Amino acid sequence: MEKQLELREIGRRAADAERVLAGLPSMKKDNALMAVADAIAADRELILYRNKLDVDAGREAGLSAALLDRLLLNPQRFDALVAMFHKLAAMPDPVGRILSGTVRPNGLKISKITVPLGVIAMIYEARPNVTADSAALCLKSGNAVILKGGKEAINSNVALVNAMRKGLQNAGLPQDCVQLVIDDADHTRSNELMRLNEFVDVIIPRGGAALIRAVVENSTVPVIETGVGNCHIYVDKNAQIDMAARIVFNAKTSRPSVCNACETLLLHKDIAGFALLRIKERLDTMNVEMVGDEAVCGILPGVAPATEEDWATEYGDYKISVKIVKTLDEAIAHINKYGTRHSEAIITENYASAEKFIGEVDAAAVYVNASTRFTDGEEFGFGAEIGISTQKLHARGPVGLEELTSVKYVIRGSGQIRE
Amino acid sequence: MEKQLELREIGRRAADAERVLAGLPSMKKDNALMAVADAIAADRELILYRNKLDVDAGREAGLSAALLDRLLLNPQRFDALVAMFHKLAAMPDPVGRILSGTVRPNGLKISKITVPLGVIAMIYEARPNVTADSAALCLKSGNAVILKGGKEAINSNVALVNAMRKGLQNAGLPQDCVQLVIDDADHTRSNELMRLNEFVDVIIPRGGAALIRAVVENSTVPVIETGVGNCHIYVDKNAQIDMAARIVFNAKTSRPSVCNACETLLLHKDIAGFALLRIKERLDTMNVEMVGDEAVCGILPGVAPATEEDWATEYGDYKISVKIVKTLDEAIAHINKYGTRHSEAIITENYASAEKFIGEVDAAAVYVNASTRFTDGEEFGFGAEIGISTQKLHARGPVGLEELTSVKYVIRGSGQIRE
Instruction: With CB atoms and an 8 Å threshold, state whether A104 touches B413.
Output: no
Interface pTM (ipTM) of the complex? Answer: 0.93
Q: For chain A, what percent of residues have pLDDT higher than 90?
A: 88
Identify whether residues B197 and B253 lie together within a single domain.
no
Q: Please report which confidence band the pLDDT of residue B3 belongs to, taking 50, 70 and 90 as the band edges.
A: low
Q: What's A284's domain CATH number?
A: 3.40.309.10
Instruction: With CB atoms and an 8 Å threshold, state whether B102 touches A250.
Output: no
Instruction: With CB atoms and an 8 Å threshold, state whether A393 touches B216.
Output: no
Q: For chain A, what percent of residues have pLDDT higher than 70?
A: 99
Contact in structure between B349 and B240 (CB atoms under 8 Å): yes
Q: How many domains does chain B have?
A: 2
Of A381, A406, A416, the CB nearest to B392: A406
Query: Residue A404, Cα to own-chain centre: how many angstroms?
Result: 13
Looking at CA atoms only, how far is residue A409 from chain B in angstroms? 5
In this predicted model, which residue has the larger pLDDT, A65 or B83?
A: B83
Q: What would the mean pLDDT of B94-115 be, rounded to a whole number?
A: 96
pLDDT for A227 beyond 90: no
Size of interface A-B (CB pairs under 8 A): 192
Identify whether residues A212 and A266 lie together within a single domain.
no
| Chain A environment of B412 (Cβ under 8 Å) | 354, 367-370
Instruction: With CB atoms and an 8 Å threshold, state whether B374 touches A118.
Output: no
Smallest Cα–Cα separation from A346: which of B313, B412, B251? B412
Instruction: With CB atoms and an 8 Å threshold, state whether B102 touches A360.
Output: no
Nearest-by-CA chain B residue for A253: B418
Mutation target to probe the B interface, by most B beta carbons within 10 A, among A202, A231, A336, A411 is A411
Q: For chain B, what percent of residues have pLDDT higher than 90?
A: 88
Looking at CA atoms only, how far is residue A91 from chain B in angstroms? 16
Q: Residue B392: inside a domain, yes or no?
A: no
Identify whether residues B198 and B314 lie together within a single domain.
no
- What local confidence, expressed as pLDDT, does residue B1 receive? 44
pLDDT for A223 beyond 50: yes
Q: What would the mean pLDDT of B145-151 be, rounded to a whole number?
A: 95
pLDDT for A135 beyond 70: yes
Smallest Cα–Cα separation from A206: which of A2, A11, A386, A415? A386
Q: Please report which confidence band the pLDDT of residue B16 belongs to, taking 50, 70 and 90 as the band edges.
A: very high
Give the CA diameter of chain B.
80
Q: What would the mean pLDDT of A45-66 be, rounded to a whole number?
A: 95
Nearest-by-CA chain A residue for B391: A201
pLDDT for B257 beyond 90: no
Looking at CA atoms only, how far is residue B42 from chain A in angstroms? 31
Of A220, A381, A415, the CB nearest to B246: A415
Looking at CA atoms only, how far is residue B395 from chain A in angstroms? 7
| Chain A environment of B374 (Cβ under 8 Å) | 108, 411, 416, 418
Identify whether residues B321 and B241 lie together within a single domain.
yes
Identify whether residues B277 and B294 lie together within a single domain.
yes
Q: What would the mean pLDDT of B217-237 be, rounded to a whole number?
A: 92
Q: Residue B341: inside a domain, yes or no?
A: yes
Looking at CA atoms only, how far is residue A360 from chain B in angstroms? 7
| Chain B environment of A374 (Cβ under 8 Å) | 108, 411, 416, 418
Which tens digit of pLDDT belongs to each residue from B155-208?
A: 999 999 999 999 999 999 999 999 999 988 888 899 999 999 999 999 999 988
Contact in structure between A248 and A234 (CB atoms under 8 Å): no
Identify whether residues B239 and B188 lie together within a single domain.
no
User: What pTM did the predictor assign?
Assistant: 0.92
Identify whether residues A222 and A244 lie together within a single domain.
no
pLDDT for B227 beyond 80: no
Which tens digit of pLDDT belongs to each residue from B353-375?
A: 999 999 999 999 999 999 999 99
Identify whether residues B193 and B268 lie together within a single domain.
no
Identify whether residues B167 and B19 lie together within a single domain.
yes
Q: Residue A394: inside a domain, yes or no?
A: no
Contact in structure between A313 and A319 (CB atoms under 8 Å): no
| Chain B environment of A416 (Cβ under 8 Å) | 369-371, 374
- What local confidence, expressed as pLDDT, does residue B185 receive? 80
Average pLDDT, chain B: 95
Smallest Cα–Cα separation from A153: which of A255, A256, A57? A57
Q: What would the mean pLDDT of B281-310 be, rounded to a whole number?
A: 96
Give the helix/strand (H/E) hosting B251. Answer: helix B241-253
Written as one string, the DSSP assignment of A203-256 is EEEESSHHHHHHHHHH--S-B--B----EEEEE-TT--HHHHHHHHHHHHHS-T
pLDDT for B9 beyond 60: yes
Q: Residue B386: inside a domain, yes or no?
A: no
Instruction: With CB atoms and an 8 Å threshold, state whether A117 touches B393.
Output: yes
Range of the domain at B272: 231-374
Q: What would the mean pLDDT of A85-90 be, rounded to a whole number?
A: 95
Strand, coil or helix: A198: coil
Cα separation, B15 vs B174, whole angstroms:
11
Q: What would the mean pLDDT of A370-385 be, rounded to a whole number?
A: 93
- What local confidence, expressed as pLDDT, does residue A389 receive? 94
The strand pairing partners of A403, in sequence order, are none
Q: What's A197's domain CATH number?
A: 3.40.605.10
Cα separation, B206 vs B185, whole angstroms:
18
Q: What would the mean pLDDT of B35-60 be, rounded to a whole number?
A: 97
Q: Residue B380: inside a domain, yes or no?
A: no
Instruction: With CB atoms and an 8 Å threshold, state whether A374 touches B222.
Output: no
Average pLDDT, chain A: 95
Q: Residue B419: inside a domain, yes or no?
A: no
Which tens digit of pLDDT belongs to each residue from A1-16?
A: 456 789 999 999 999 9
pLDDT for B66 beyond 90: no
Of B358, B364, B369, the CB nearest to A413: B369
Identify whether residues A262 and A327 lie together within a single domain.
yes
> First-to-last CA distance in chain A?
56
Identify whether residues B216 and B316 lie together within a single domain.
no
Q: What would the mean pLDDT of A353-370 be, rounded to a whole number?
A: 97
Which tens digit of pLDDT belongs to each residue from A97-114?
A: 999 999 999 999 999 999
Of B354, B360, B379, the CB nearest to A23: B360
Q: What would the mean pLDDT of B2-28 be, rounded to a whole number?
A: 91
B402 DSSP assignment: G
- What local confidence, expressed as pLDDT, does residue A72 receive? 94
pLDDT for A234 beyond 50: yes
Q: How many other CB atoms are found less than 10 A from the CB of residue B291?
A: 21
| Chain B environment of A336 (Cβ under 8 Å) | 19
Instruction: With CB atoms and an 8 Å threshold, state whether B409 touches A375.
Output: yes
Cα separation, A397 vs A123, whole angstroms:
18
Looking at CA atoms only, how far is residue A61 from chain B in angstroms? 33
pLDDT for B2 beyond 70: no
Q: Residue A292: inside a domain, yes or no?
A: yes
Identify whether residues A188 and A239 lie together within a single domain.
no
Which tens digit of pLDDT belongs to each residue from A309-352?
A: 999 999 989 999 999 999 999 999 999 999 999 999 999 999 99
pLDDT for B249 beyond 90: yes
pLDDT for A208 beyond 90: no
Of A47-56, A409-418, B61-70, the one with minimum mean pLDDT is B61-70
Nearest-by-CA chain B residue for A117: B392
- What local confidence, expressed as pLDDT, does residue A3 receive? 62
Contact in structure between A110 and A402 (CB atoms under 8 Å): no
Cα separation, B102 vs B241, whole angstroms:
52
Q: Residue B388: inside a domain, yes or no?
A: no
Could you give the angle at the alpha carbon of A389 between the alpha carbons of A388 and A391, nearest 5°?
A: 160
